[in-house]
Amino acid sequence: MGAEPSRSSSKIHALFDALPAITKLNINLLVQTILANEALKAQVAVNRFDWQNLTNWFRGTSLTGLVSLPCYSEPLDIFGKGLAQLAREIATAYLKTMSRDFTLFIDRSVNKDDRLRFSRFGLFHTVEISAKVLSLAIGLAYDKNVLTFPDLPDSYLIPDASLEIASEYYRRVQERIGQAIAPGSLALADTSYPRNLSPGLKILHPINTNDLLAELAPLVVEYIHLRKNAYAHTSNLGLEGLLLVVGDTDSPHRFHSAMGHDYMDGYFLTPGVTLLGATSPMSQFSVLPIYRMALISQQLRGNSVASDCSHEYLPFVFYGIITPIDIESGMFSPSLAGQLRYPGNIDTRDELMNLLPFIEKLSPSLLPMQSTA
């Protein structure tokens, strides 16, 4: 039986809330230092990325030792077609990319056992998905006029409006489109659009990204197994699961401000990327490598306007481990990778509570909480 999706324990939340303000501040500063280390690891992968040779894929360290991506000359035709179609696109991209990269791996690897392990485990353990791609797949995009009211501020300004005005705006939008949207969804809304769609489209972000990814992950694995015999070097795949990650380029401070999150309450910032969703229970996979992978992806992907100009669309980025023995040793658990993390979107306060036992060991004098277990 897999790990149950759950948030951090109420005990840890209560212990944190009882800490003096200066201690909370110092914890946040320590977390930012830890994230800075992840950002440096991300930069190693980005700096080594060779756009002239996409098969030169030994790029990062540890869980990001392999960074590979398919490049499309046209945006995906997925608008409103649902998660099943998105899963097919990801599965096809996974198989094509592994088939391409495995040949290079065979040429470079001197360890026959490792080649056999990779052919069974697969080259990649994680798929990072563009936030815009996920939103388009589920049809979470509307003509900007649908989200505009003549007597209310522009939708972009609503997250900064008074509570009374914002509440009235969200009420009208829900009445008009038939579903609720959160302030964070609107704060991250994207007014740029792939050139295969109509101008004036406003792409929102889901308020249940974790749930969507937990539904998507097994579909991707299922389609990979259905189609693995059609590609070279993938017929032996025994893939158990994939970790899915979604981030966004918009500034995390605007998102947290729109959501009413207080930095001192543990809602730490993730410089360079807003984390929206991920699979895998927190007990199995911490937020730190998720942040690193999302940050790498955002730096490689750039923005949609640049994609339209260059005709290079990068909806997915794949991550793998150089030595498959790391999977066997427990660094990464494929069977749990695609499970629901917890409902909703990534909650950095909850992720911080999950990190507190590590922080307590790192700095006992900073966090004299006796026990965060």
Which H or E run contains 252? helix 252-259
- Burial of 46: CB neighbours in 10 Å, binned 0-12, 13-18, 19+: middle
pLDDT of residue 167: 86
Q: What CA–CA distance (Å, rounded) separates 215 from 116? A: 30
The string of DSSP letters for 114-147 reads HHHHHHHH-S-SEEEEEHHHHHHHTT-EEEGGGG
pLDDT score of 7: 72
Task: Provide the pLDDT for residue 75.
Answer: 87
* C-alpha–C-alpha distance, residues 299 and 359, integer Å: 28
Phi, psi angles (nearest 5°) of residue 256 = -65, -35
Q: pTM (2 decimals)? A: 0.91
* Cβ-Cβ contacts under 8 Å for 198 (sequence gap 6 or more): 143
The pLDDT score that the predictor gives to residue 195 is 65
Closest CA to 274 of 194, 346, 202: 346
Torsion (CA) 142, 140, 300, 128 in degrees, nearest 10: 180
Domains in the chain: boundaries:
10-138+206-362, 141-201
Query: What ranges make up the beta strands (E) of the chain?
Result: 66-68, 126-130, 141-143, 201-203, 243-248, 274-278, 316-320
Strand positions, DSSP E, 267-353:
274-278, 316-320
Reading the chain (373 residues) residue by residue, the pLDDT tens digits are: 455 555 778 888 998 999 999 999 999 999 999 999 999 999 988 887 766 665 555 566 788 888 888 889 888 999 999 999 999 999 999 999 999 888 777 666 657 777 788 888 898 999 999 999 999 999 988 888 888 899 998 887 887 788 899 889 889 988 998 887 777 777 777 766 566 666 678 888 888 999 999 999 999 999 999 999 999 999 999 999 999 999 987 778 878 787 888 889 999 999 999 999 999 999 999 999 999 999 999 988 876 656 666 667 889 999 988 776 766 666 678 889 999 999 999 999 999 999 999 998 888 888 765 544 4
In angstroms, the Cα distances linking 343 to 130, 208, 215, 336 are 20, 7, 12, 16
Q: CB of 121 within 8 A of CB of 337? A: no
> Which two tokens mark 9?
């324990």
Give the number of other CB atoms < 10 A from CB of residue 185: 23
HSE-CB of 340 using CA atoms within 13 angstroms: 13
Residue 1 has a pLDDT of: 41
Residue with tokens 């353990």: 125
Contact 102, 231 (CB under 8 A): no
Strand, coil or helix: 66: strand
